[in-house]
Amino acid sequence: MGLALIAVSLLIGLGALGTAIGFGLLGGKLLEGSARQPEMAPMLQGKMFLIAGLLDAVPMIGVGIGMYVLFVVAPTLAG
Protein backbone atom coordinates (compact mmCIF):
# COMPACT_ATOMS: atom_id res chain seq x y z
CA MET A 1 0.00 0.00 0.00
CA GLY A 2 2.92 2.35 0.70
CA LEU A 3 4.23 2.25 -2.86
CA ALA A 4 0.75 2.91 -4.20
CA LEU A 5 0.56 6.07 -2.10
CA ILE A 6 3.92 7.23 -3.44
CA ALA A 7 2.86 6.45 -7.01
CA VAL A 8 -0.41 8.36 -6.64
CA SER A 9 1.39 11.31 -5.07
CA LEU A 10 3.90 11.45 -7.91
CA LEU A 11 1.18 11.08 -10.52
CA ILE A 12 -0.88 13.96 -9.19
CA GLY A 13 2.07 16.17 -8.25
CA LEU A 14 3.96 15.86 -11.52
CA GLY A 15 0.75 16.33 -13.51
CA ALA A 16 0.06 19.54 -11.61
CA LEU A 17 3.65 20.71 -12.09
CA GLY A 18 3.51 20.10 -15.83
CA THR A 19 0.23 21.95 -16.08
CA ALA A 20 1.62 24.92 -14.14
CA ILE A 21 4.60 25.12 -16.47
CA GLY A 22 2.30 24.84 -19.47
CA PHE A 23 0.05 27.64 -18.23
CA GLY A 24 3.08 29.85 -17.66
CA LEU A 25 4.40 29.27 -21.17
CA LEU A 26 0.95 29.73 -22.66
CA GLY A 27 0.37 33.03 -20.89
CA GLY A 28 3.81 34.29 -21.86
CA LYS A 29 3.27 33.48 -25.52
CA LEU A 30 -0.15 35.15 -25.42
CA LEU A 31 1.41 38.34 -24.09
CA GLU A 32 4.18 38.20 -26.71
CA GLY A 33 1.70 37.71 -29.53
CA SER A 34 -0.60 40.44 -28.25
CA ALA A 35 2.32 42.85 -27.96
CA ARG A 36 3.46 42.15 -31.52
CA GLN A 37 0.00 42.34 -33.11
CA PRO A 38 -2.54 44.05 -30.87
CA GLU A 39 -5.32 43.68 -33.42
CA MET A 40 -5.05 39.89 -33.13
CA ALA A 41 -5.43 39.90 -29.32
CA PRO A 42 -9.12 38.82 -29.21
CA MET A 43 -8.50 35.86 -31.52
CA LEU A 44 -5.37 34.85 -29.62
CA GLN A 45 -7.22 35.10 -26.33
CA GLY A 46 -10.01 32.82 -27.56
CA LYS A 47 -7.49 30.22 -28.71
CA MET A 48 -5.62 30.56 -25.43
CA PHE A 49 -8.76 29.73 -23.43
CA LEU A 50 -9.41 26.69 -25.63
CA ILE A 51 -5.88 25.38 -25.10
CA ALA A 52 -6.08 26.22 -21.38
CA GLY A 53 -9.17 24.04 -21.08
CA LEU A 54 -7.42 21.15 -22.79
CA LEU A 55 -4.30 21.69 -20.70
CA ASP A 56 -6.35 21.71 -17.52
CA ALA A 57 -7.73 18.25 -18.37
CA VAL A 58 -4.31 16.65 -17.82
CA PRO A 59 -4.24 16.87 -13.99
CA MET A 60 -7.93 15.91 -13.83
CA ILE A 61 -7.16 12.70 -15.72
CA GLY A 62 -4.20 12.16 -13.39
CA VAL A 63 -6.45 12.53 -10.34
CA GLY A 64 -8.89 10.01 -11.82
CA ILE A 65 -6.13 7.49 -12.48
CA GLY A 66 -4.68 8.14 -9.03
CA MET A 67 -8.04 7.49 -7.35
CA TYR A 68 -8.40 4.29 -9.34
CA VAL A 69 -4.97 3.10 -8.26
CA LEU A 70 -5.57 4.12 -4.66
CA PHE A 71 -9.04 2.64 -4.18
CA VAL A 72 -9.16 -0.27 -6.65
CA VAL A 73 -5.68 -1.53 -7.43
CA ALA A 74 -3.92 -1.02 -4.07
CA PRO A 75 -6.47 -2.92 -1.92
CA THR A 76 -6.27 -5.93 -4.25
CA LEU A 77 -2.48 -5.95 -3.93
CA ALA A 78 -2.59 -5.62 -0.15
CA GLY A 79 -5.05 -8.30 0.58
Q: Which residues are catalytic?
A: 56
Residue 79, H or E segment? none
Sequence-separated (6 or more) residues with CB below 8 Å from residue 12: 59, 62, 63, 66
End-to-end CA distance of the chain: 10
